[in-house]
Amino acid sequence: MQSEPFVQKAYHCILQNDFEEALHWFEAAIAENPEDAEIHYRCSVTYARSNRLDKAMERALEASRLAPDKSEYGLYVQHLQAMRIVQDAKKTIDSPDVAPAHQLYDTVSILKEAVRLDPLYGEAYIWLALAYSQLNEHALAISAIKEVIALQPHDHGLQDMLEQLKGRLNSYLYDSST
């Protein structure tokens, strides 16, 4: 049997927001045609949308292995790596306990790696700005937010965040001078 009917069923499930069932059909398509890089890639995207990054990475790496000439598969692997980095960084930044400065600087370093891996991944810039802000590196936080605003100019929440960061910078400068 061809894998195409399974892929069609997967897309039908996606249109109905049933991602678990879509994954079932993508996996069936892969079982039917394990050498089809495009099916691995599509399955990977669905895993990522379901926030199952380990499985998404597994399928993306396989797509890239099967079709090394398709640069978009390699770029997608880098995007998933950036997503994983951001996911890990969120734990440090969102922790109810304020992380020590050395841990925040480590988080900044890995978030810079996320930006390097996928310069179009806006969430990496946002979390980088938040990490900088926790370190009272407000000018760097503002710079990171301006980067994501350039990527997503119509996101008004980012403009609000920029204004908050500017306010923190002004408060920090005022407190430092008194």
Tens of pLDDT, residues 113-140:
999 999 999 999 999 999 999 999 999 9
Question: Which among 6, 69, 9 has a CA at the least distance from the CA of 34?
Answer: 6
pLDDT at 177: 66
Across residues 77-88, what is the average pLDDT? 97
User: 133-137: which pairs have CB atoms within 8 A and are 24 or more residues apart?
Assistant: 133/165, 133/168, 134/93, 134/98, 134/99, 134/104, 135/101, 135/104, 135/105, 135/108, 136/172
Across residues 53-74, what is the average pLDDT? 97
2 vs 39: CA distance, rounded Å: 12
pLDDT at 146: 96
Among the residue ranges 76-80, 107-111, 155-159, 168-172, the one predicted with the least confidence is 168-172
pLDDT over threshold 60, residue 1: no
76 vs 40: CA distance, rounded Å: 12
99 band by pLDDT with thresholds 50, 70 and 90: confident
Across residues 13-24, what is the average pLDDT? 96
pLDDT at 137: 94
pLDDT at 96: 86
Across residues 77-89, what is the average pLDDT? 97
Calculate helix-pair angle for 37-49, 53-66, nearest 10 degrees: 160
pLDDT at 178: 62
